[in-house]
Amino acid sequence: MTDRLTHLDQSGHAHMVDVSDKNISHRSATAQAIIEMLPSTLTKVVEGGLPKGDVIATARIAGIQACKKTADLIPLCHPLMLTKVSVEIDVISETQLKVLCTCKLSGKTGVEMEALTGASVTALTLYDMCKAVDKGIIIKEVALLEKSGGKSGDWSKSNA
């Protein structure tokens, strides 16, 4: 781990990190988001009772698309050739859904931002599709859970 911000040059100006000399390695990252809503809203999500259609399928596709567009959204991210994106959406209580987004590739830079973007956009899409019946939905605990590969090696939130 470095003790300086890698996206700042010697003068403190923002720049895109040069990864030209880095080795290609297998890399993966998993991020989460928790979405909290009224029990009645969650029931409608699970049973398909919302006017906008299949909320879970739409949110999953939005999350996958977001991973692929991360470099367009986060200014200093490298465009990446992702080889795998998975988005899981699970009920974890009577009021909460948990999104897990995992991204993988073989490349010179990590996929943490892609996983975080995918989890975030999945959660935002869930909000968008449910807001007509529940404007008080809360998106929380957006976090990187684990990453593997690259110079810094493996990392897990549970071991941090």
Q: Is 128 a catalytic residue?
A: yes
Average model confidence (pLDDT) across the chain: 91
Question: What average pLDDT does the segment 70-84 reach?
Answer: 94
Contacts of 122 (CB under 8 A, 6+ apart): 33, 59, 60, 62, 63, 66, 87, 89, 99, 101
What per-residue confidence (pLDDT) applies to 52? 82
Total domain count, the chain = 1
Judge whether 102 lies within some domain: yes
What per-residue confidence (pLDDT) applies to 17? 74
* 58 or 13, higher pLDDT: 58
Catalytic residue of the set 9, 128, 134, 154: 128
Please state, in angstroms and as integers, the Cα–Cα distance from residue 155 to each residue in 117, 132, 135, 150, following that order: 18, 39, 36, 11
Structural domain span for residue 48: 25-152
What per-residue confidence (pLDDT) applies to 137? 98
Is 138 strand, coil or helix?
strand
Q: What is the pLDDT of residues 108-127, one digit of tens each?
A: 999 999 999 999 999 999 99
Judge whether 95 lies within some domain: yes
**102/49 Cα distance (integer angstroms):** 28
Q: Report whether pLDDT(103) > 80.
A: yes
Judge whether 20 lies within some domain: no
Least confident piece of the model among 56-60, 86-90, 148-152? 148-152
Judge whether 60 lies within some domain: yes
Judge whether 39 lies within some domain: yes
Judge whether 13 lies within some domain: no
CATH of the domain at 33: 3.30.70.640
Question: What average pLDDT does the segment 89-113 reach?
Answer: 97
Q: Report whether pLDDT(3) > 70.
A: no
Judge whether 54 lies within some domain: yes
Judge whether 111 lies within some domain: yes
Q: What is the pTM of this model?
A: 0.90
What per-residue confidence (pLDDT) applies to 49? 81
